[in-house]
Amino acid sequence: MSATADPTQPTFLSGTNTLKSRLRRADRKRKLWALALIAPMFIFLVVGFIIPIASLLKLSVEDLEVGEALPRTVEAFDAWDGEGFPPPEALEIFAEELVVADANKTLGSATRRLNYAFSGFKSMLKKTGREAEEKLVGVPSDQILDAFIAIDKDWAKPGYWLAIKDAVGPLSDFYFLWAVDRVRDEAGDIVSRPSDQSIYLDVLGRTLEISIAVTAICFLLGLPIAYLLATLPPSKSNLLLILVLLPFWTSLLVRTTAWIVLLQNQGLINDLGILLGFWDEPLELIRNRIGVYIAMVHIQLPFMILPIYAVMKGINPWHMRAAESLGAHRWLAFLKVYLPQCLPGIGAGILLCFILSLGYYITPALVGGPQDQMISFWIVENMGRVLNWGLAAALSVILLGITLIFFFIYNRFVGFDKLRMG
């Protein structure tokens, strides 16, 4: 007689299923716990980093002002091929909307946007809006263009009509072209802006020049200091490390202001140099590139020293001694044995110092002269005083792009896997 299994009794199979379900529940709990741990950082990155960058990118390509003020005109001009002058039907729609926009006081943002294309466009458009109802509405189609020209002779220039067509939006490369001193001509080709309006390429070049120079000076000064910190006895290296960290205990604005006091014509450095006979009259150490370099290097130097020191501290000193015991000169042993092991810290210091230097605003603004202002100054200028948010956003995106390019260059030649901050 064969025995039958009792369904009320546990079996090996049911125990296996129970174990699997428990393991799955435990795995889900671990994943939920890990998600809960990283959720605050993820939210912070989204709110504080991704959303602002996306907003900047959106502002840099948006071109909505004219479309919001003159929607029918935008549609009519979008259908125009850009040759010669707009068709009479488009001009009539433009005249009608000018009357409505002037009455509703909604021309402000559109006039400001068009004034970026041609200086004086704002006043011309406002003048035309005031006189549109009297001089444009009801004019025969074949005379509408002449009526515009009668109000202001600049309407006889095709470039003004093309500027309206180029601003139809909703997306445009206008601000990005402006940020690299380019503009579209009457044929739609990208050409250089007039020399008296071309400043941003020079500013971008100056920003790179200052950042590279500051990074190079910080490296030349920081490498021996980091080596000294790593090789001195702890009692002395700790004191020296405190002196390196001392600038972090003071705000950036206070440190920059202190350099203004020290570097001015009647400041401590000039007085001491004259007293010691190094020079006979005060040197110009402020409102120029020298002052910018001095103040920025002072602020950036700890960012170069600390990553290099952290890596050097972990290098076995016996490596150098072994190289010397095999006949290598001390300098050769340093270059061939010790320095290659420092490359992760050197790469981290150079990358950190350079990227921080790219975005400097306060120090060049206070210590430098007009020819020493970096791209951040013009971003703040356009965002605050001029209220040209599109251009400010385009400049910001370009600066971000430069930073990413140097990240990729670093990754290509050094590698992020070798990046060491401590």
| Crossing angle of helices 200-231 and 343-358, rounded to 10° | 140
Do the beta carbons of residue 286 and residue 266 sit within 8 Å? no
Q: At what angle do helices 71-78 and 88-104 cross, to 10 degrees?
A: 160
Contact 110, 121 (CB under 8 A): no
pLDDT digits (tens, 9 = 90+) for 49-92: 889 888 888 988 888 888 888 899 988 988 888 888 899 999 99
Assess contact for 111 and 84: CB atoms under 8 A: no
- Cα–Cα distance list, 385 to 377, 381, 392 (Å): 11, 5, 11
Encode pLDDT of 197-240 as tens digits: 889 999 999 999 999 999 999 999 999 999 999 888 888 888 88
Residue 27 DSSP SS3:
helix
* pLDDT one-digit tens code per residue, 244-257: 888 788 888 888 88
CA distances from 38 to 24, 27, 30, 31 (A): 21, 17, 12, 11
SS3 of residue 188 by DSSP: coil
**Pick from 155, 120, 142, 147: which is nearest to 131 by CA?**
147
Please give the mean pLDDT across all residues of the chain: 86
The pLDDT of residue 148 is: 92
Over residues 112-134, mean pLDDT: 89
Whether the predicted pLDDT of 12 surpasses 70: no
pLDDT band at 1 (very low <50, low <70, confident <90, very high): very low
Residue 407 has pLDDT above 90, yes or no: no
Q: Is the pLDDT of residue 11 over 70?
A: no
Per the CB < 8 A criterion, the answer to whether 93 and 99 are in contact is no
Contact status, residue 86 vs residue 157, Cβ threshold 8 Å: no
d(CA 166, CA 120): 17
Section 389-418 average pLDDT: 84
Is the pLDDT confidence value at 171 over 90? no
With a pLDDT cut of 70, the percent of the chain lying above it is 94
Q: Rounded distance, CA 295 to CA 399, Å?
A: 22
Quote the distance between the C-alpha of residue 216 and its chain's center: 21
- Work out the average pLDDT over 302-312: 91
Task: Pick 64 or 321 by higher pLDDT.
Answer: 64
CA angle 93, 68, 90 (to 5 degrees): 15
The pTM (predicted TM-score) of the whole model is: 0.82
Distance CA 127, CA 150 (A): 12
